[in-house]
Amino acid sequence: MNKVIPIAAALSETETRSLFSPLAEARGLPGRVYADPDYWTIERQRLFRDDWFAIGCASDVPKPGDMMPITVAEWELVLVRGEDGEVRCFHNVCRHRGTKLVLAPKNARQIACGWHCWTYALDGELLRTPIIDGPRTMGHDQFDRSKLGLVEVRSAVWNDAVFVNIGGDARSFAEFSAPLDALFAEYGPSSYNYQHPERHEDMVLDINWKLYHEGGLEGYHIPFVHPALEQPERYRIDNDASTFTSLTGALSKYKRLGTLVGLPEDTLDLNVAASEALNQGARIPYTICFITPTLIFAIWPEAVILTLLRPISPTKTGVRRNLYFIGDKASAPQTEPARKKYLDIWEGVTREDADYSAGVQRLSVQRDEIGVQTRFSPHWEEAVHMFQRRIAQRAYGASADLTT
């Protein structure tokens, strides 16, 4: 982890120049960045330590005392809901001899280490160190409990997603999230019920985390791979060079989900932008936002779809998804079939994509060996190009003076 890769070695000048060429001529990132542990090490530092990234959901720990361990990019973290209702993130590491503290999701009033029973409050304070100085003792004067609390990680909740900045020195979260709030304002994101998600559990894919983004950032493959989805003629792309790239499309043949599952058409409510468009007979807008590196946050007419990536190693990534609906129908028993159907549709879409991404992963080293450089469709793949350039600049230190 402390190994530092010289930035000059991350991408060659030729690779940088060809990546930053105009879209129709550009060559994509070399295959090795999807498999080589050196690149994982760089990303772990630049993206998964020095900047904000999403690791879980506040709804994973709904009640005070709920705690959930999370292993992401080799960081061992734990989310804890305190007595005060606040969600906090700690390094899941005991201050005594450094064992992992919380091994499975649970609810408890305190966090007790299994090894020698050092016991912490839900806000991380070290409360007790039983028998530390022999039987029937509770403390030792060389152990100042006020300095031995759990190590807290800087965190913030945004539309249920818990973001962390492990290094602690990133820009403020308000600064990070402001362009995202502006992007989604027209949909009224606060109308969704973030307390009652439909969720599917983490599925582990044999891909580098970057390939999940690249698979979703273009509509080119939709007619070939997802016949049930509608391909827009063109997306509107919004791009924040340091944070996200989003695709906004509009549905021309919008069919409300209730009818697909034999329920009345208005089974689930629509967001404000969708209702307005429907009333005016206009196309229904939706936005899918790829927030580097671990969150894809999408607003569809009836649901927010939050897809969380959990990078495990250079070649393995966990993927889980929460869907949120609007108002009372988000939790009503009679709308449950429709909500589950929505979840199933998106799980199916993920599976339709999985083999293609895994194929790219398996061939990533070989394509460098045989000199195959990837290309971008100028009409469809501008957003993939933006994503790769963001990674090159933010993680691999691609120098601005080589870029156009």
Q: Which partner from the list Fe ion, ligand FES, none does 97 bind, CB cut-off 5 to 8 Å by kind? A: ligand FES
Q: Which partner from the list Fe ion, ligand FES, none does 193 bind, CB cut-off 5 to 8 Å by kind? A: none
Query: Cα-atom radius of gyration of the chain, to the nearest Å?
Result: 23
How near is the Cβ of 290 to Fe ion at its closest, in Å? 13
Cβ nearer to Fe ion, comparing 148 with 349: 349
Q: Which partner from the list Fe ion, ligand FES, none does 118 bind, CB cut-off 5 to 8 Å by kind? A: ligand FES
According to CB under 6 A, which one of 58, 94, 217, 274 is a site residue for ligand FES? Answer: 94
Residues between 190 and 249 with contacts to Fe ion, criterion CB under 5 A: none
Bridge partners, residue 78, by sequence = 69, 90
Query: Which residue's CB comes closest to Fe ion?
Result: 353
Q: Which partner from the list ligand FES, Fe ion, none does 192 bind, CB cut-off 5 to 8 Å by kind? A: none
How near is the Cβ of 70 to ligand FES at its closest, in Å? 19
Using rule CB under 6 A, residue 110 touches ligand FES: no
CA torsion angle 226 228 231 237 (round to 10): -70
Q: Which partner from the list ligand FES, Fe ion, none does 255 bind, CB cut-off 5 to 8 Å by kind? A: none
How near is the Cβ of 113 to ligand FES at its closest, in Å? 3
25: alpha, beta or left? (left if phi > 0; alpha if psi -120 to 50): alpha
293 preceded by cis ω (within 30°)?
A: yes
Measure the CA angle with vertex 228, ends 222 and 232; round to 5°: 45
How near is the Cβ of 154 to ligand FES at its closest, in Å? 23
Nearest to 29 by CA among 11, 52, 45, 6: 11
CA distance 82 to 108: 10
Residues between 116 and 155 with contacts to ligand FES, criterion CB under 6 A: 116-118
Location of structure tokens 């429907």: 278
Q: Which partner from the list Fe ion, ligand FES, none does 308 bind, CB cut-off 5 to 8 Å by kind? A: none
* Part of the chain binding ligand FES (CB under 6 A), chosen from 31-39, 84-92, 112-120, 270-278: 112-120
How near is the Cβ of 95 to ligand FES at its closest, in Å? 7
How near is the Cβ of 93 to ligand FES at its closest, in Å? 9
CA distance 165 to 97: 24
* Part of the chain binding ligand FES (CB under 6 A), chosen from 73-81, 95-103, 260-268, 382-390: 95-103
Cβ nearer to Fe ion, comparing 46 with 213: 213
How near is the Cβ of 356 to Fe ion at its closest, in Å? 8
Per-residue CA distances from 144 to 149, 240, 285 (Å): 10, 45, 57
How near is the Cβ of 101 to ligand FES at its closest, in Å? 7
Residues between 305 and 364 with contacts to Fe ion, criterion CB under 5 A: 353
How near is the Cβ of 97 to ligand FES at its closest, in Å? 4
Residues 6+ apart with CB under 8 A from 285: 186, 187, 248, 249, 250, 273, 274, 277
CA distance 339 to 192: 13
Cβ nearer to ligand FES, comparing 5 with 132: 132
CA torsion angle 356 373 207 312 (round to 10): -170
Nearest to 105 by CA among 2, 199, 180, 28: 199
* Part of the chain binding ligand FES (CB under 6 A), chosen from 57-65, 67-75, 109-117, 134-142: 109-117
Write b or e for each residue in 83-122: b if 16 or more Cβ atoms lie within 10 A of its Cβ, otherwise e.
eeeebbbbbbbbbbeeebbbeeeeeeeebbbeeeebebbb
Per-residue CA distances from 269 to 92, 215, 243, 288 (Å): 40, 29, 30, 19
Residues between 8 and 37 with contacts to ligand FES, criterion CB under 6 A: none
Which one-letter amino acid corresponds to residue 355?
A: D
How near is the Cβ of 145 to ligand FES at its closest, in Å? 13
Name the DSSP class of 403.
-
* Part of the chain binding ligand FES (CB under 6 A), chosen from 46-54, 66-74, 90-98, 383-391: 90-98
Give residues in contact with Fe ion (CB under 5 A). Answer: 353
Give residues in contact with ligand FES (CB under 6 A). Answer: 94, 96-97, 99, 113, 115-118
